[in-house]
Amino acid sequence: MSDANAAAPRPEAADEVVLRVQELTKYYPITGGLFRTKVGEVKAVDGVSFDVRRGETYAIVGESGCGKTSLGKTVARLLEPTSGTIEFRGQDIAAFDDRQLKSIRREIQVVYQDPTSSLNPRKRIKDIVAEPLVVHGVGTKADRRDRVAELLARVDLPQEFAYRYPNELSGGQKQRVAIARALTLEPSLLILDEPTSALDVSVQAKVVALLEELQAELDLAYLLITHDLSLTKNIADRIGVMYLGRFMEQADADELFARPRNPYTEQLLSAIPIVDESEAVYKPEKIEIQGETPDPSDPPSGCSFHPRCHRVFDDCSSVAPSLVRVGEDHTSRCLLHELADEDAPGSATDVDSTGRGDR
């Protein structure tokens, strides 16, 4: 047990902020020419701020290419941030060096979309699940065997699976193994990057139920990344809707579904099929989503969403809206909020410096 006590003690406060991200950016250089000089950049994450509390699920939702994975990997410090702060349990890990990051690697774990590519096909399940213990030099061989048994039980897999290889398991079972491995070192934050989108629909709900059960038992904070707004309906506590690297809207999950304020969120909601009429708290008329996501290296002028927006007006192509407060713990980025005759509840207040509005 070399560094088992390295983690800081956990404060008892029920609303402990595990992760506080402020004005985070991640830009990728675009190089060209013979000498591969920088000719531009992709602003994959462009000034994003949010908090995740202990035991809470914060969902990041948006279409393909909007920067969700870049955000998740940067928060986990698998990618170097361009600027901004990533406060993890009170420490800014944005500037941590490799040595400092070692303890963070135990505390923040990532579960990816495709368990087939994230699990080593040549290793048995027991070695996959125990690997983080080996890497971090934790426990004896017997301790590791016990931990693997405990984790397989936790994710509802039979003990005999310890001796199998990934290709002997179904997609859902493999994702359970990936979740078990992520839990091995008792992290406080799991980043779940499209954790169910590679699975059969029938299996998705079971994996979601498992994640919820684990969160309740272990008081885990989740950063859930998904393109599927409907997936967040029952599991997210708060939601950030992302478009071309920026938050368009951020709110409590119930509030976002009941009173969406941003046209982009309206379009995403309008695309969700209604399963149960009683659940349709807010259901905009079917809105035809226009066009494709623009090239992130050359975003539209003004509001980046304006070419696809059903509420577009003249100024939208020239004036970039700020993220403004539109309600209790609710922010949105749209020029409509900044018009004097805005008829929505609550006065819109500019919060772009922190992205948090009332906090």
Ligand X SMILES: Nc1ncnc2c1ncn2[C@@H]1O[C@H](COP(=O)(O)OP(=O)(O)OP(=O)(O)O)[C@@H](O)[C@H]1O
- Positions touching ligand X (CB under 6 A) are 28, 42, 44, 62, 64-70, 227, 296
Q: Which is nearer to Mg ion, 68 or 136 (CB)?
A: 68
Is 268:279 a contact under the CB 8 Å cutoff? no
Interatomic CA distance for residues 292 and 289, integer angstroms:
9
Q: Which is nearer to ligand X, 187 or 296 (CB)?
A: 296
Is 182:192 a contact under the CB 8 Å cutoff? no
CB of 62 to ligand X, least distance (A): 6
CB of 91 to ligand X, least distance (A): 25
CB of 190 to ligand X, least distance (A): 17
Number of residues lying near Mg ion (CB under 5 A): 2
Is 339:311 a contact under the CB 8 Å cutoff? no
Q: Which is nearer to Mg ion, 53 or 68 (CB)?
A: 68
Partner from Mg ion, ligand X, none binding residue 296, C-beta < 5-8 Å depending on class: ligand X
Query: Among the candidate windows 61-69, 91-99, 307-315, 335-343, which touches Mg ion by CB under 5 A?
Result: 61-69
Interatomic CA distance for residues 70 and 264, integer angstroms:
21
Q: Which is nearer to Mg ion, 191 or 324 (CB)?
A: 191
Q: Which is nearer to Mg ion, 55 or 65 (CB)?
A: 65
x/- letters, 282..321, toward Mg ion (CB under 5 A)? ----------------------------------------
Partner from ligand X, Mg ion, none binding residue 28, C-beta < 5-8 Å depending on class: ligand X
Q: Which is nearer to ligand X, 62 or 132 (CB)?
A: 62
Rule CB under 5 A: choose which of 69, 204, 232, 304 binds Mg ion: 69
Interface residues for Mg ion in 30-59 (CB under 5 A)?
Answer: none
CB of 66 to ligand X, least distance (A): 4
Partner from ligand X, Mg ion, none binding residue 42, C-beta < 5-8 Å depending on class: ligand X
Partner from Mg ion, ligand X, none binding residue 302, C-beta < 5-8 Å depending on class: none
CB of 78 to ligand X, least distance (A): 11
Alpha-carbon distance values, 305 to 70, 134, 337, 346 (Å): 20, 47, 15, 24
Bridge partner residues of 31 (DSSP): 38
Partner from Mg ion, ligand X, none binding residue 67, C-beta < 5-8 Å depending on class: ligand X
Query: Among the candidate windows 40-48, 65-73, 158-166, 240-248, which touches Mg ion by CB under 5 A?
Result: 65-73
Is 301:318 a contact under the CB 8 Å cutoff? yes
User: Quick check: 265 binds Mg ion (CB under 5 A)?
Assistant: no
For Mg ion, the nearest residue by Cβ is 69
Partner from ligand X, Mg ion, none binding residue 65, C-beta < 5-8 Å depending on class: ligand X
Q: Which residues bind Mg ion (CB under 5 A)?
A: 68-69
